[in-house]
Structure 1
Amino acid sequence: MVKCYRKTVSLSDIWVSSNDKVSDFYASSWQRGESPLPLLVVRVLLAAVALGILVFSLTSGASPYWPIYLTNWGLIMLTMMTLSGLIVSWVAVCKSTFKETSDLPWYVSTYWFLYNIAVSNALIITVLFWSLLYKSENYEDDDDGRLFWLDISTHAINSCVALTEVLASRTPVRLLHFYQPLSIGLWYAAFTAVYYAADGTDGNGNPYIYEVLDWNEGNRAGAIVAASAAGLLVIYLMVWGLAFCRDKISISLIRTISHNLPTVPDTRLDTRILE
């Protein structure tokens, strides 16, 4: 569940090593009880879609330059997140009970970390593509529509997968974890700068990976990085808000169990004398 604040902050709060309930990572928000089966079904579908998009991207754009693009970094992280979530759900199905402790198993912590970075980065990739990179003329020679559907898959359906995981699960979102997706974004920005300094090019021989992030124009590239970092923080805050609303609604409407208790019988002794 979403953590709003705490009076004290520990290292375990900053990292992904502890949580009140392990079931938050394998039970769906939209179910009673803590059975892992409903979310397992959802995660099987999400992992299949993510793997399908990744294979589609690899087969359609296979080249030595495939690993340099942020879109493809995001696809790898999204696929790893869905697969790790599937592992968490599968282990929960196979394992009847979990030890009651706030310390999380390593595979749960791994999933949580990937969740934190993959969801926000999928959304920022979608926003950046459609706001900065999309050009309708790119599809003029796309006779079979392959490029169009590749862009739809990697810059729209990717975010649908990420949002479905957020809405279907109970995975906690903590404001203190904002640095995790941000660090990946800044890491990629540093990579593009180093790639430029090493005379790297894109697939067409241009001295940049993305034209809007051309380090030959350092001021503009720096502004793009700063704006993207701010946008990523805003998106992470929105994901936190979405998870907060998810938990509030599901707890009040779905997870709250009302007990119909029988009327308490009158145990007072009848002092009347039966005649």
Structure 2
Amino acid sequence: MSAIKSYFKQEVKTSMLSLEHPKRTDFYLSCWQTTRSAVPVLIWRLILFLATLGIVLASAIIYILNGKFAYWFIYLTHWGLTSILLTTGFGVGVSARIYFYGPISAEFSLPWYVKTYWVLFNIATPVAFLITIFYWTLLFEAGIEEELNHGLDVAVHGLNSLIMLLLLLSSSQPSRLLHIYQPINFALVYMVFGVIYHFAGGTDQKGNAYIYPVVDWSQPGTTILVVVITGLLLICLHLLTMALSVARDSLSKRCVNNSVIVHVDEGMALRQQVYA
């Protein structure tokens, strides 16, 4: 209990609002590896990026073929997929940058591309979980499909969370309590978009005067309740992301033999350490 209390006491410090972290290697090395080579994480992130790109392209192409591509942009699922694509893409970029040019210096602030990756990760992970839960608890039972292909619709609302879970469990970067403002801001932007879209006369792909029937702004009372509950769920999922990060780090410390880690010159490009 004292360890938990100490952990949360550390997490609520105002300094934790920032995008700074003393251990730079947490952003490009896995907590499960025993070398300082950037290659394993680079390859893994590239696989996840290509998988996400394939899902996004498949979804977008089907919308284009049906002449409804403009509607692709109104759904939270596709906003979430876009955030996953950007997260995995920036993850590949961070790993590639380290591989070709060497580790990040601890003398300066975290580079903008690392901070961008961190923010995108903080947003995409709980939002992916939220979208999966939202779909399988509310939309699926109601027979509502965002995708124009049933198989893809089912896959999209499961693979999104799987990709982010795999990225989370294979990474080392921390998840901070006070970074909750990042996914919350993302959700608020989507909510504002939904309100503007509704009152501007926007419809879903079938011509209904809403994006989701459970979020119909012509019935503000019910919709506001759904929005509040969804916001609370998003906070819980951010806490779940934190818990998974802590469990990942704790388990990896028990399983990985840190004594065999190879320490290299911090100024040396890690592409030279592939076989370290």
Q: Deviations over 1:206-236 (max 9, x none)?
A: 1101111011111110011001000000011
Query: Is the CA contact (8 Å cut-off) linking 1:36 and 1:93 kept in structure 2?
Result: yes
Structure 2 residue aligned with 1:15: 18
- Equivalent of 1:188, from 187, 190, 194? 190
Counterpart in the other structure of 2:173: 171
1:71-220 residue pairs with structure 2 within 5 A? 71-101=77-107, 103-135=109-141, 147-220=149-222
1:6 aligned counterpart, secondary structure? helix
Question: How many residues matched?
Answer: 250
Deviation at 1:186, TM superposition (A): 1.8
- State the one-letter code of the partner of 1:105: P
Deviation at 1:255, TM superposition (A): 5.0
> CA offset at residue 102 of structure 1?
6.2
How large is the Cα RMSD of the aligned pairs?
Answer: 2.1
TM (norm. structure 2) is: 0.85
Shift of 1:170: 0.4
- Between the aligned partners of 2:95 and 2:173, the Cα distance in structure 1 is 12
Q: Deviations over 1:16-57 (max 9, x none)?
A: 2x1011110000111113321111111010000010000011
Moved more, 87-96 or 50-59: 87-96
- For the pair shown, the structure with the greater C-alpha radius of gyration is 1
Identity %: 34
Q: Distance in 2 between matches of 1:130 and 1:77?
A: 20
The one of 27, 30, 34 aligned to 1:28:
30
Query: In the alignment, what sits opposite 1:58?
Result: 60
Distance 1:52 1:251, change over 3 A: same
Gap change, CA 1:258 and 1:64, over 3 Å in 2: closer
Which residue pairs with 1:267 in the alignment?
Answer: none
Whether contact under 8 Å (1:186, 1:229) holds in the other structure is: no
1:113-157 Cα shifts (integer Å, max 9, x gaps): 000001111110010011110148568xxxxx9722211332000
2: CA distance, partners of 1:111 / 1:243: 16
Query: RCO (CA 8 Å, sep 6+): is it higher in 1 or 2?
Result: 2
Matched, 1:67 2:73: yes
Superposed counterparts of 1:202-241, under 5 Å: 202-241=204-243
| One-letter identity of the residue aligned with 2:43 | V
Q: Is the 8 A contact 1:22 1:102 kept in 2?
A: no
State the distance in 1 between where 2:155 and 2:251 align: 30
Q: Which residue of 1 aligns with 2:49?
A: 47
Cα pair 2:169 2:245 within 8 Å, conserved: yes
1:175-223 deviation line (CA, Å, top 9, x unaligned): 1101110111122112111111111111111110111101111111001
Structure 2 gaps of 5+ residues are 1-6, 262-276
How far does the alpha carbon of each residue in 1:84-108 deviate from its partner, in whole angstroms, 9 at most, with x for none? 0000011111123331236211110
In the alignment, is the contact (CA less than 8 A) between 1:4 and 1:174 conserved in 2? no
Indicate how the Cα distance of structure 1 residues 174 and 138 shifts in structure 2: closer, same or farther if over 3 A, else same: closer
- Counterparts of 1:157 and 1:8 in 2: how far apart (Å)? 33
Q: Which whole-Å deviations, capped at 9, do the CAs of 1:50-76 have from their partners, x for residues lacking one?
A: 100000110112321111110110111
Aligned pair 1:247/2:253, yes or no?
no
Alignment partners' CA distance in 1, 2:228 and 2:148: 33
In terms of fraction of residues, the more helix-rich structure is 2
